[in-house]
Copies of this chain bind each other. A is one copy, B any other.
Amino acid sequence: MEILKTKNLMQQWSKARKKKDKTICFVPTMGYLHQGHISLLEKGKPLCDELVLSIFINPTQFGPNEDLAAYPVDIEKDLFLAEAAGVTAVFLPQKEDIYPHNFQTKIFLDRLPSYLCGHSRPIHFGGVATVVTKLFHIVMPDVAIFGKKDYQQLQIIRQMVCDLDFDIKILGGEIVRESDGLAMSSRNAYLTADQRESALSLSRSIQMAAAAIANGEKKSGVIQNQMESFIKGYPHTRIDYISFCDPHTLESVDIIDRQILLALAVHVGKTRLIDNCLIAPSQ
């Protein structure tokens, strides 16, 4: 496994592989790898000749009051896990290499970022779209894999790749959960034992909603009220949003008469957690 610490070295590595007709699968991350990331690497491993992991805590996707400075880091463990997962190259750049002096180009999407997490994180997805474009140009992948826990991010990447004609296949990796249902996230590391219990309110409220829909409830407003009461029953929780929406456009859906995305964000203490599920109505 090679470790490439500058964008020039990474780009040269990828160009050399492409010249030899090697295909490249790419999993971009912010590090502090957990089983969710590993599952993306496992999904990518058989697809291409090379498997590239990037670890870069991208400052431009954090708002001023977010957790950039606190974001957990454990490069040594990440590299160990990456090697075990069959990664052939790790891209580990410095901030100054990615955003040099006079950097001024940004990518925005008109509609998709305005929903869900976009309300409370207005600059987030522009930062994501821009850094992913850069990473795509540096790593030159044939396939790139993003986790479905960040469902909105995945949709935005898909839309951007389509709109900008990137010749890259985008795959989504399933949400990986702890045995009690909590969606895996690097941010779970922030939770105290008390908060860890309250964090279950996300996945449990989704299960509750899925059960209600399976029982024939069609009104998203009714289920949303139930979910809000349920989540508020857990200490330390503050709901950011609960959205029943179209899985493609992310526009709100009032009547659940087709498959919908149920997505939510909840602050548990100072930690903002997200979760989601695609749910189809009962026949």
A residues adjacent to B (C-beta < 8 A): 7, 11, 15, 19, 21, 102-112, 129-130, 133-134, 137-138, 140, 159-160, 163-167
Find chain B residues with CB under 8 A from A7 CB: 165
Find chain B residues with CB under 8 A from A159 CB: 102, 104-105
Q: Which residue of B lies closest to A112 (CB)?
A: B104
Query: With A21-B19, A105-B129, A105-B159 known to touch, is A137 a contact of B164 (CB < 8 Å)?
Result: yes
Q: Are B110 and A11 in contact, CB atoms less than 8 angstroms apart?
A: no
Find chain B residues with CB under 8 A from A104 CB: 109-112, 159, 163
- Report the separation of the CA atoms of residues A33 and B160 in the bound assembly, to the nearest whole angstrom: 32
Q: Which residue of B lies closest to A21 (CB)?
A: B19
Q: Which residue of B lies closest to A106 (CB)?
A: B108
Across the A-B interface, give the 6 residue pairs with the lowest CB-CB distance, nearest first. Answer: A105-B163, A104-B110, A137-B165, A104-B109, A105-B160, A134-B165
Find chain B residues with CB under 8 A from A164 CB: 105, 130, 133-134, 137
Find chain B residues with CB under 8 A from A105 CB: 107-110, 129, 159-160, 163-164
A-B contact pairs, 6 of them (CB 8 A): A105-B107, A105-B159, A108-B108, A134-B164, A134-B165, A137-B166
Find chain B residues with CB under 8 A from A130 CB: 164
Tell me the smallest distance from the CB of A62 to a CB of chain B, in Å.
18
Tell me the smallest distance from the CB of A186 to a CB of chain B, in Å.
25
- Report the separation of the CA atoms of residues A165 and B9 in the bound assembly, to the nearest whole angstrom: 12
Find chain B residues with CB under 8 A from A129 CB: 105
- Report the separation of the CA atoms of residues A106 and B129 in the bound assembly, to the nearest whole angstrom: 10
Q: Which of the listed residues A138, A164, A166 has the most CB atoms from chain B within 10 Å of its own CB?
A: A164
Find chain B residues with CB under 8 A from A140 CB: 167
Please pick, from B11, B15, B110, B167, the residue contacting A137 in the complex, using a CB distance under 8 A. B167
Find chain B residues with CB under 8 A from A103 CB: 163
Find chain B residues with CB under 8 A from A107 CB: 105-108
Q: Are A167 and B15 in contact, CB atoms less than 8 angstroms apart?
A: yes
- Report the separation of the CA atoms of residues A200 and B167 in the bound assembly, to the nearest whole angstrom: 45
Q: Which residue of B lies closest to A160 (CB)?
A: B105
Find chain B residues with CB under 8 A from A160 CB: 105
Q: Which residue of B lies closest to A139 (CB)?
A: B165
Q: Which residue of B lies closest to A110 (CB)?
A: B104
Q: Which residue of B lies closest to A105 (CB)?
A: B163
Q: Which residue of B lies closest to A133 (CB)?
A: B164
Find chain B residues with CB under 8 A from A137 CB: 164-167
Tell me the smallest distance from the CB of A40 to a CB of chain B, in Å.
22
- Beyond the given A105-B109, A105-B163, A106-B108, could you list 18 further A-B residue pairs with CB under 8 A, ordered by the A residue number? A19-B21, A103-B163, A104-B110, A104-B111, A104-B159, A104-B163, A105-B107, A105-B108, A105-B164, A107-B108, A130-B164, A133-B164, A134-B164, A134-B165, A137-B165, A137-B166, A137-B167, A138-B165
